[in-house]
Amino acid sequence: MEKFLAKWESLSASSGVVRFLDINLRSIGQVMFQNNPLTGIFFLAAIIWGSYAAGVPRVAIAGVLTVVVANLTAQWLHVDTESLHSGLYGFNGILVGLALATFLAPGPLLWVYVILGAAVSVVVMLGTTNVVKPWGGALTFPFVLTTWLLLLATYGFSGLAGAALPTGNVVAAFQPYQGSPLQLIDLVQGVFLSISQVFLKASSIAALLLLAGLAVSSLAAAAFALGGAILAVLTAHLFGAESDLITGGLLGFSPVLTAIALGTVFYQPGWRVVAYTILATVFTVIVQSAVNVALTPFAIPALTAPFVLVTWLFLLPRQRLEGVPEDARDIEKPAAVA
């Protein structure tokens, strides 16, 4: 693995085309905090598989297009080279593309929207980084904010329409969901889809590809992702969440990101860190449900907002939990990513 990466880096250094490919692959990996081009290949395979299996190949195409546009925009804005080469300006862009192509109906204006969203995500990334730098970086907030605004605007445009957006009266706000018993197979499905839904995919095969991509870069990240998914599903079931949300992984994808972030990125793994991460992961499930309810009248999805909110909250105390050095938490450094 190390020899392969060394050869790849040498090739990237000697070729501008390969370097740009490397940046885009790392950007895809950075969605789950991995600065590794091989991880990006696995993640890209998961996106393609999940999109084609669902009969929506345009989603994969939109993802590839937006990561390229985002990185071209970053180069145009003359961002710092180290962060660019680490893929830190493309991961929000690819999520914007995947989300827009998932939630909006196909058509020429969708692609205009996708390109616009990718470019704007870089601007939002730069601005957010400057504001939140003291407590851990922008995370996926640029993706959330950019996508929310673009989706909300579609209700005011006749040229764009939602294909998978809920209507405002699907669930009455502030009314409890009705839970139902789940079989073991349903819980297992919920665990795998919690992982794949990080990339807006409902596919167990995509989840396995994502876990493989994490493992080739960091076994700890793969373990925390799987553990976070299991904990999220069990927590949601314990509290009696709506069954389809659990089995569809829709209450687990943000907890998965929280588990990876706190367990492997912003703190060095240790027993106190594990306990802290468990607390944050459980709380992310609650925040996910709360945000789902709060956004019901607006008919837009929560996306990864619960992950961003909880991770920021759990980084703010600055507790000494076998933390990584202060400079490693800087979003401008490759170690502190998505």
pLDDT for residue 207: 98
Report yes or no on 107 lying in a domain. Answer: yes
Report yes or no on 170 lying in a domain. Answer: no
Report yes or no on 279 lying in a domain. Answer: yes
Length of the chain: 338
With 0-12 CB in 10 A as exposed, 13-18 as middle and 19+ as buried, what is 239? Answer: middle
Structure tokens at 110: 């969708």
CATH code at position 18 = 1.10.3430.10
Containing structural domain, residue 261:
10-161+185-318
Q: Which amino acid is at 257?
A: L
Structure tokens at 313: 């909250």
3 state SS of 198: helix
pLDDT for residue 285: 97
Q: Which of 44, 133, 149 is nearest to 91 (CA)?
A: 44
Report yes or no on 330 lying in a domain. Answer: no
Report yes or no on 75 lying in a domain. Answer: yes
Average pLDDT score, the chain:
89
Whole-angstrom Cα distance, residue 158 to residue 277? 44
The whole-model pTM stands at 0.90
pLDDT for residue 169: 43
- 8-state DSSP, 157: -
Report yes or no on 73 lying in a domain. Answer: yes
Task: Specify the residue for token string 């740009």.
Answer: 20
pLDDT for residue 333: 39
Task: Answer positive or negative: Cα dihedral of 195, 200, 150, 86.
Answer: positive
Total domains in the chain come to 1
pLDDT for residue 235: 96
Listed as ranges, residues in the chain with pLDDT below 70 are 163-182, 318-338
- H helices present in the chain, as ranges: 2-14, 16-30, 37-53, 57-76, 81-85, 91-103, 108-132, 141-153, 184-196, 204-217, 219-238, 243-247, 253-260, 271-295, 305-315
Report yes or no on 190 lying in a domain. Answer: yes
Report yes or no on 329 lying in a domain. Answer: no
3 state SS of 234: helix
Whole-angstrom Cα distance, residue 105 to residue 329? 39
pLDDT for residue 24: 98
